[in-house]
Amino acid sequence: MLQSLMSDDHPLTLALLFERAATQFPDNELVSRFPDGSIHRYTYADFARRTRKLANALATLGIEPGDRVATLCWNEHRHLELYFAVPLSGAVVHTLNARLHRDELTYIVNDAADSALFVHSSLLDAFEEIRDRVSVEHVIVIPDDGPTPEGYRDYEELIADEPEQFEPPPLDERQASGMCHTSGTTGRPKGVLYSHRSTTLLALMSCMTDTVGMHERDCMLPVVPMYHANAWGFPYAATYAGAKQVFPGRDLSAESLLGLFADEGVTLTGGVPTVFLDVLRALDERPGEWDLSAMRSLVIGGSAAPPSQIAGFDRHGLHVTHAWGMTEMNPLGSIANLKRAHDGLDEADTLEVRARQGHAQPLIEFRHVAEDGVVQPWDGVALGELQVRGPTIARAYYGVDRADDFVGDGWFRTGDIVTIDEHGSILIADRARDVVKSGGEWISSVALENALMAHPGVVEAAVFAAEDERWGERPLAAVVHAPGSSVEAEELREFIAPQFLRWWLPAEFIPVDSVPKTSTGKFDKVALRERYGRRLIEGGE
C-alpha cells in the first residue's frame, strides 16, 4: 500500500476550534443574560484570555488529564470558558442537568467521580442538597445572581491572578473531552464520553451549508441547555465559525427569548418543541412586537416538532429546521432540509417532508431493522428500529456493560422505531419503549400527537399506551386545551379520524392541565402510564 504523505496524525482537537476563534475573530461578541435581566458582553479575545487563565487555574487546583470536572450551570459565557478550558487541559468537562432529580444528580456525580464542580450561584441550593452524598474535592461558585457566599471559592477570584499564556499539553484526538449522562428515563442514567475528534467533526459538520450552516455572520442563541448533549454542539460550532453567541441564562420564557432574538439580531437558535410552543403563542398574541427579520432558522428537535408548529412559524416568516439526534451521537443525527428531489411539491407535501426527522448528517449512516433482525427497505412503509453508524457516535457507555446497545459491526441501536422513505428521510413513529401495540400491531403515538396538535383548541397532546384486556394495549391521549377552548373528545376524534385507521384512534381523550415532562423537556410517558395506564381496566376518575 502506498502511504500518503499528508499530516494525517495532526490531531483534531478542540484546540483548533479555540485558536481559530481567538486569532481569526477576536472582536466578535459573546453576550450573556444574568438572572436579574442585565446583559454581559465581551469578545472572543476576552473569552480566549480568560479561558487560558482558567486552564492555568485548573492546573493550580491539581486537575490532571482525564479528571472529570463537572458543571452545574445555565447557558452563559463562563460555561463556554469551561467548555474549552477543561478539555484543553486534558480533563473532561462533565455537564450536569440542573433539572434532574437530586437522587439522579447524586448518582451521576458519583458515577463520574468528579474531581471538581463549577456551579452557578443560582444553582447552589441544588448542590447543597446533594453535598453530603458526593465527594467532590473542589467546589467553585460562578456568581450569577449575587456574590459568592462565604465558605465557597469564587470563580472570578480563582482565575484573577493566573497568567494569560497557556500552552495545552499534547492532546490525543481520541481522548475524552466531554461527558454527558442520558436522562435515564429507563434505568439509571448512562454516561456518554465525547472525544476531541468527534466534537471537532461535529462542529465542522454543523458549519456545512446543507446542515445547520453555522457561519461567521451568524448570531447563535442556544435555547437547548449546555448541559444537554453539549447544547447540540452549537457552542462548539459557533466558536469554530466565529459566530456571535448569545447565552440566555436561566430565563427561557418566550418574553426573554424574543427580546434577545430582536435586540441582539439572532439569526439561528435551537431548542425543544415545548419552548418554541410558548414562543409561537407569544408571536400569535402580539404579532409585530419583535423585529425578527435577522432570524434565518429555528432548529427544533429533541422530540418531534408538530407540523402545526412548523406551519405556525411559517405564518410569521420564520423558518423551522427540524432535526433529530441523541446524546449518544454528540448529538446531531439528521436534519429535515429539503432536497432537490422535493422541488415542485405543493405546500402540504412540503410541510410533510419538513416535519419528518430528515436525512442523515454527513459522516452518519442509517439503516432500520425489523424485530427479526432483517434490514428493511427504504419505502416509507416498513417499520424498524433505527440503527446509526459513524465517527461521532458512542461505542459504549461509561463503566456500564450494555453491549447489546452497540451491535458488533459498529451500528448503534437508537431505540427509535422509524420508517425511511426513498429519499433517505426518517420518520419516527415512536421510541421503542413508548410504542403502543394494539392487537399485536404498532400504532404511532407521534403521528396521533401531531394530528391532535393541529387542532386550534389543543396546545399539547401526548399519546401513550394503556393496558387493555382485549387488545393488549390501546392508545390514550392526554390533551392540554388552549386557553378558553373546551373542545370535546368527540370533536377531537372526528378531527383526526380521516387520517387514521379506526383502531388507531385513542380510546379516550383525557383533559390535563399540563403534560408531565422529562428533565430534557420530552413528554414523560412513563409518568403518564403510571397515572393512567390501567384506566381502561380499572376505570378512570
Edge-to-edge order in the sheet of strand 365-369: 365-369, 384-389, 412-420, 426-431
Which grid coordinates belong to 113? Answer: 467521580
CB of 227 to ligand ADP, least distance (A): 11
Contacts of residue 128, defined as CB under 8 A and 6 or more positions apart, other chains included, come to none
- In the annotation, is 365 catalytic? no
| Alpha helices (runs of H) in 207-324, residue ranges in sequence order | 229-232, 234-241, 254-264, 273-285, 307-315
Are residues 40 and 247 in contact, defined by beta-carbon separation less than 8 angstroms?
A: no
Nearer to ligand ADP, 357 or 376 (CB): 357
CB of 234 to ligand ADP, least distance (A): 14
- In the annotation, is 182 catalytic? yes
* 385 three-class SS: strand
Nearer to ligand ADP, 326 or 451 (CB): 326
- In the annotation, is 186 catalytic? no
Q: How far apart are the first and last CA of the chain?
A: 73
Cα 57 from Cα 52, distance rounded (Å): 9
Catalytic residue among 442, 467, 508, 517: 442
Nearer to ligand ADP, 58 or 335 (CB): 335
CB of 393 to ligand ADP, least distance (A): 12
Residue 75 vs residues 10, 29, 165, 180, 245: alpha-carbon distances, Å = 31, 15, 26, 15, 11
Which grid coordinates belong to 507? Answer: 380510546
CB of 192 to ligand ADP, least distance (A): 8
Catalytic residue among 71, 95, 182, 274: 182
CB of 450 to ligand ADP, least distance (A): 10
Nearer to ligand ADP, 245 or 414 (CB): 414
Catalytic residue among 19, 352, 437, 508: 437
DSSP labels for 14-73? HHHHHHHHHHH-TT-EEEEE-TTS-EEEEEHHHHHHHHHHHHHHHHHHT--TT-EEEEE-
Q: Give the binding site for ligand ADP (CB under 6 A).
A: 182-183, 229, 301-304, 322-327, 331, 357, 414-416, 428, 431, 518, 520, 522
Cα 352 from Cα 169, distance rounded (Å): 49
Based on the number of CB atoms within 10 Å of its own CB, is 306 exposed (0-12), middle (13-18) or buried (19 or more)? buried
Are residues 269 and 223 in contact, defined by beta-carbon separation less than 8 angstroms?
A: yes
Catalytic residue among 76, 104, 173, 328: 328
Nearer to ligand ADP, 11 or 516 (CB): 516
CB of 431 to ligand ADP, least distance (A): 4
Are residues 57 and 34 in contact, defined by beta-carbon separation less than 8 angstroms?
A: no
- In the annotation, is 437 catalytic? yes
Nearer to ligand ADP, 140 or 336 (CB): 336
What are the residue numbers of the active site?
A: 182, 328, 437, 442
